[in-house]
């Protein structure tokens, strides 16, 4: 069988849209020593394809990081498949909170240098000396201590739509950028309890070990991240200290954890926490857009992108070489970067 997908993405998206198969969205990660990531990648692709898995998985010599969807009818077969691999046995599977089964439309498995880009030299510290793991109830208890520092280790566009109460929210665009930023911000609190959290826990595995290496004495991480926290809160009837949406890196772009809408449309400023990508493929900016602005701008991020999108394809092809759009200027959108005066129109 082929170990890559060769079907056009738009066709795959249409197939998924029309497919009535019930699917479950989940994520997982593990740090492990993989001697030949390329060979392991091909084996994993072959095995998961047999289970009808879609999603995005990164394989590196340090481990595996995946976000996938599985047909409900193949769920047990999928679990059996991963149990065949020694370092996958007993791995935590973080199941989506809100799930329509349309999170992924194909299977992609890539070999990377690291399963999360962090910019760290792992040879300079012991990544196994990580922070203590906290359950949802333990997290709630520790964060009632006024001395406790809560740190969001995600990117700004993730925390913009949802975060824990009283958390420090670094203005970082990448995890690599957040690590030194958080270390420097907390220099005066090295003796205080520091609780770190992220989406599913993988970023905090590395970040907590790095913070301990930098002299922080009491470092903890939310076990399983926001996804597992939300599950435990619901199952155990605990107080929910997370407000808003949890950003996710798939077609859904978010799952609601609480009813509050804490973000604003990047175009008009009205309450909104719906992430979209600009419909102009030459821009493709990730930003927040309310229904009224989606109609006004025809699902683009600016008048410039809206007008560009209606041009004939041959004209757009020529203009792509010289024109700059919000996506190339700002990357992931911030509210302050998209006030009308700043938009490229």
**CATH number of the domain enclosing 50:** 3.30.70.100
To the nearest whole number, what is the mean pLDDT of the chain?
Answer: 89
Give pLDDT, residue 334: 56
Q: pTM, whole model, 2 decimals?
A: 0.82
Query: What is the arithmetic mean of pLDDT over 171-194?
Result: 93
Give pLDDT, residue 136: 98
Q: Which residues pair with 306 in a beta bridge?
A: none
Asked about 290 being catalytic, the answer comes back as no
CA 236 – CA 175 distance, rounded (Å): 31
Total structural domains within the chain: 3
Does one domain contain both 298 and 317? yes
Give pLDDT, residue 344: 36
124, pLDDT greater than 90: no
Q: Please report whether residue 195 resides in a domain.
A: yes
CB 230 within 8 A of CB 201: no
Host domain of residue 298: 275-338
Tell me which of 79, 111, 143 is where a domain ends. Answer: 111
Confidence of residue 3 (pLDDT cuts 50, 70, 90): low
Checking phi first, is residue 225 left (phi over 0); if not, alpha (psi -120 to 50) or beta? left
Q: Please report whether residue 70 resides in a domain.
A: yes
Query: What is the arithmetic mean of pLDDT over 245-268?
Result: 93
Does one domain contain both 151 and 222? yes
Query: What is the arithmetic mean of pLDDT over 244-273?
Result: 94
Q: Please report whether residue 264 resides in a domain.
A: no
339, pLDDT greater than 50: no
Q: Which residue has the tokens 């990660």?
A: 29
Give pLDDT, residue 257: 95
Does one domain contain both 107 and 128? no
Give pLDDT, residue 310: 94
Confidence of residue 37 (pLDDT cuts 50, 70, 90): very high
Does one domain contain both 96 and 130? no
DSSP label of 191 = T
Instruction: Choose the catalytic residue: 51, 198, 265, 283.
Output: 198
Contacts of 39 (CB under 8 A, 6+ apart): none
**Percentage of the chain modeled with pLDDT above 70:** 92
Give pLDDT, residue 7: 67
Does one domain contain both 56 and 80? yes
Q: Please report whether residue 270 resides in a domain.
A: no
Give pLDDT, residue 118: 85
Q: Tell me the three state secondary structure of residue 193.
A: strand
Lowest mean pLDDT among 51-55, 118-122, 228-232, 277-281: 118-122
Confidence of residue 18 (pLDDT cuts 50, 70, 90): confident
Query: What is the arithmetic mean of pLDDT over 322-333?
Result: 73
Query: What is the arithmetic mean of pLDDT over 34-41?
Result: 95
Query: What is the arithmetic mean of pLDDT over 316-333?
Result: 79
Give pLDDT, residue 343: 40
Does one domain contain both 103 and 132? no
Does one domain contain both 78 and 159? no
- Of 116-130, 288-302, 329-343, which has the strongest mean pLDDT? 288-302
Does one domain contain both 174 and 93? no
Give pLDDT, residue 328: 67
Q: Looking at beta carbons, which pairs linking 299-305 to residues 24 or more positions away fall under 8 Å?
A: 301/266, 301/267, 301/325, 301/326, 301/327, 301/333, 301/338, 301/343, 302/326, 302/343, 302/344, 302/345, 303/343, 303/345, 304/343, 304/344, 304/345, 305/278, 305/279, 305/280
**Percentage of the chain modeled with pLDDT above 90:** 74
Does one domain contain both 156 and 93? no
Q: Over the stretch 65-101, which tens digit does the pLDDT of each residue have?
A: 999 999 999 999 999 999 999 999 989 999 988 888 8
Q: Over the stretch 222-238, which tens digit does the pLDDT of each residue have?
A: 999 999 999 999 999 99
Does one domain contain both 131 and 204? yes
């Amino acid at each position: 069988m082929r170990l890559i997908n060769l079907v056009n993405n738009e066709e795959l998206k249409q197939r998924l849209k029309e497919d009535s198969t019930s699917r479950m969205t989940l994520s997982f990660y593990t740090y492990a020593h993989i001697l030949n990531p390329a060979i392991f990648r091909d084996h994993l692709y072959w095995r998961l394809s047999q289970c009808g898995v879609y999603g995005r998985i990164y394989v590196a010599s340090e481990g595996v990081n995946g976000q996938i969807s599985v047909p409900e009818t193949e769920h047990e077969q999928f679990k059996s498949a991963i149990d065949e691999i020694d370092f996958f046995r007993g791995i935590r599977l973080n199941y989506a909170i809100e799930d329509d089964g349309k999170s992924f439309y194909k299977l992609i498995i890539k070999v990377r240098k690291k399963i999360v880009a962090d910019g760290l030299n792992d040879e300079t510290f012991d990544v196994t000396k990580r922070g203590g793991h906290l359950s949802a109830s333990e997290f709630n208890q520790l964060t009632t201590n006024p001395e406790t520092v809560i740190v969001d280790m995600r990117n700004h566009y993730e925390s913009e739509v949802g975060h824990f109460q009283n958390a420090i929210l670094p203005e970082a665009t990448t995890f690599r950028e957040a690590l030194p930023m958080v270390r420097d911000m907390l220099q005066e609190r090295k003796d205080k309890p520091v609780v770190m959290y992220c989406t599913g826990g993988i970023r905090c595995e590395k970040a907590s070990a790095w913070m301990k290496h930098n002299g922080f004495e009491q470092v903890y991480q939310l076990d399983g991240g926001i996804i597992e926290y939300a599950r435990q809160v619901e199952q155990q009837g605990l107080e929910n200290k997370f407000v808003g949406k949890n950003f996710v890196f798939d077609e859904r772009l978010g799952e609601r954890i609480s009813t509050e809408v804490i973000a604003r449309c990047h175009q008009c400023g009205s309450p909104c926490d719906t992430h979209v990508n600009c419909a102009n493929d030459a821009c493709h900016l990730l930003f927040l857009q309310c229904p009224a602005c989606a109609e006004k701008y025809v699902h683009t991020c600016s008048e410039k992108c809206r007008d560009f999108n209606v041009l004939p394809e041959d004209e757009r092809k020529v203009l792509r070489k010289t024109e700059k759009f919000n996506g190339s200027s700002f990357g992931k959108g911030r509210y302050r970067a998209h006030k009308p005066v700043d938009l490229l129109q």
